[in-house]
Amino acid sequence: MHNLFDLSGRTALVTGANTGLGQAIAIALAEAGADIVAAGRSDPADTAARVRAAGRRFHAVQADLSQQDQLPGVVEQALAAFGRLDILVNNAGIIRRADAIDVTEADWDAVLDTNLKSLFFLSQAAARHMLANGGGKIINVASLLSFQGGVRVPAYAASKSGVAGLTHALANEWAARGVNVNAIAPGYFSTNNTAALRADPEREPQILARIPAGRWGQPGDLAGAAVFLASAASDYVHGVLLPVDGGWLAR
């Protein structure tokens, strides 16, 4: 059974792995045996140290993932570093909070370009390699707002609903060709993106009261789901949105 979750000899490309959920996923995959390529704008020095401490190789690719023309190069650099690409984790994302009536076109475009457009075109670039080389695993980071509307985050909700739709669409096209496309839908986690909510004296207790587990998620709570979807244990799992939410959607 242990071998089902063994990622030894595989390479994972993780976006937004410098902190938070992306960092936790990268470390979990490394601890399961994968070498890690981290792509993003920020220096992932802490992630690099922790991946190497787990005995795995690490390579950083600096890129603005909101720029479509940079995405094929990210995959090319991953292949140049380690010679293969088995797993892609589309984690990078941003959020802009405002009343819907006040959302600007610039903020809308920034969120959709980073959270949805780049996810598709990076998946496309990775899949071109995977489809030609026996398959692979693509894991998208969706959200509770792939199921719900949220409050004061219309662009983010639209982007994460789009992530759900793309996960289904790409799974339909690529499942029979050996590429699994699935998504993790995190609930309310303690990360930079939720700092404003956790500091809000009205919203924070409202959120906490609805979580059956009684606490905010910690980035490490995603480790098991990420390793499962990246490993042979999920070979017959396609097009799934897996909530990791402390029971939020059950209430």
Residues annotated as catalytic are 156
Closest CA to 247 of 191, 204, 187, 207: 187
Q: Which amino acid would we find at residue 235?
A: D
Per the CB < 8 A criterion, the answer to whether 161 and 143 are in contact is no
d(C-alpha 190, C-alpha 232), whole Å:
29
Taking a C-beta distance cutoff of 8 angstroms, is the pair 96, 103 a contact? yes
* 68 DSSP assignment: G
Amino acid, single-letter form, for residue 209: A
Burial class of residue 79 in the structure, from the number of CB atoms within 10 Å of its CB (0-12 exposed, 13-18 middle, 19+ buried): middle
**In which order are the strands placed within the sheet that holds 136-141?**
58-62, 35-40, 11-15, 87-90, 136-141, 179-186, 241-244
Cross-strand bridge partners of residue 7: none
Judged by DSSP in three states, 160 sits in helix
The answer for residues whose C-beta is within 8 angstroms of residue 228's C-beta and 6 or more apart is 5, 234
The answer to whether the beta carbons of residues 249 and 192 sit under 8 Å apart is no
